[in-house]
Amino acid sequence: MQKITVIIKCNARVKICPKKRKETATYENIMPFDNSTKVAVQFLEKRIHQDDLILVSPNHMLGTMEYYLSDKLLFCNIISEDNKNLLAAGVKLPAYIYSTNTTPDWIVSFGLGIDMPKFTAKHLAKLNYSGYEIHAFLIYGPDVSRPELFWRSFVPKAKFPPEDGLFILERIKDESITSGGVRVKPLI
């Protein structure tokens, strides 16, 4: 059997690598785990149609979703509708990019308990959720693969409140299916 030696260098004066962080960083490299972005992208890739509208919340998660899905989806509410630079320049953009009056085909929420930018919250408050099917995933919603250490998690986060999970809402094209209610489909 071959022995693996892992060396993690850190700044001893600042002590940013306590023993536990070394162990968990090693675990991440030996035993990679899924994160919410990967789960959301894999789920959506199987179900989306070309030029479907998608709303991502919180807004700082747009970048990773755009990276993987921008060739297939139209991302709405990217710019605040009261953006002074946009209004002053008289830029003509499609309404879905900035308007909170659009109804997205998909809503991806990386944790409902996360503080959201005001314009994302405004858009979410205007939506009628009775026309959506909710897909709830048993995975921690906020991104734990970010490079900033205070957001980083080197092991899967197992204990978290249900509202901090990953939720994907799919707009139901045939309203007769819902009979006026919201369908919830838990996924693992």
What are the boundaries of each domain within the chain? Answer: 34-187
Q: State how far the alpha carbon of 136 is from the alpha carbons of 13, 170, 176, in Å.
A: 44, 11, 22
Contact criterion met (CB below 8 Å) for 67 and 88: no
pLDDT band of residue 102 (cuts 50, 70, 90) is confident
Q: How confident is the model at residue 173 (pLDDT cuts 50, 70, 90)?
A: confident
Mean pLDDT of 109-134: 76
- More confident of the two residues 61 and 83: 61
Tokens encoding 128: 């009628």
Higher local confidence (pLDDT), 112 or 171: 171
Kindly write down the DSSP assignment for every residue of 25-94, as one continuous string: HHHHHHS----HHHHHHHHHHTT--TTEEEEEESGGGHHHHHHHHTTTEEE-S-S-TT-HHHHHHT----
The band of 13, judged by pLDDT with boundaries at 50, 70 and 90, is very low
pLDDT given at position 7? 52
Mean pLDDT of the chain: 75
